[in-house]
Structure 1
Amino acid sequence: MTTTWPQADGSLISCREKLRVLADNQAELHTMLRDVFDDAVLMGVDEGEMRRILIETIQALPSPNRGKAAG
């Protein structure tokens, strides 16, 4: 699991609360992805195709910064 979280400028996030939230989110996402992946494969979906579907799903996520006013 990731233990360092780089910011856009390359510096690392150091705030303990942010690091805790990021670690919690990552653990939750891992569990959810594991469940989704396992269910699909057990129902007969090809493992490689399921990995591709999950990657494409992540790549299609819009940026939360889109439309954000500069400032």
Structure 2
Amino acid sequence: MTPPAEWPGADGAPISCREKIKVLAENHAEAAQVLADALEDAILMGVDETEMRKLLHALVDALPGRNRS
């Protein structure tokens, strides 16, 4: 999975700093690999793929953020 072409900033304008874009792309690649590994492991252990995907979505949705309590 490739990172997005642009990373939207909090103000709506795309992030333009090359170092920030590099870090964001690295984080994207790492997260994609961890999630892919977790999905694959779960499927190999007999977990229903659709249900595991729902669990992974719920995990991401539950992450704390700046605008979340």
Residue of structure 2 in register with 1:28 after alignment? 30
Higher RCO (C-alpha 8 Å, min separation 6): 2
Residue of structure 2 in register with 1:62 after alignment? 64
- Following the alignment from structure 2 to structure 1, what is the Cα–Cα distance between the partners of residues 54 and 15? 30
Q: Report which of the two structures shows the higher radius of gyration computed on alpha carbons.
A: 1
Percent of aligned pairs with the same amino acid: 54
Residue of structure 2 in register with 1:12 after alignment? 14
TM-score with structure 1 setting the length: 0.86
Count, aligned residues: 67
| RMSD between aligned residues | 1.5
Q: CA 1:66–1:48 in 2, change beyond 3 Å: closer, same or farther?
A: closer
Shift of 1:61: 0.5
TM-score with structure 2 setting the length: 0.88
Residue of structure 1 in register with 2:44 after alignment? 42
Unaligned runs of at least 5 residues, structure 2: none
Matched, 1:3 2:5: yes
User: Structure 1 segments of 4 or more deviating over 2 A?
Assistant: 64-67
Partner SS state of residue 41, structure 2: helix
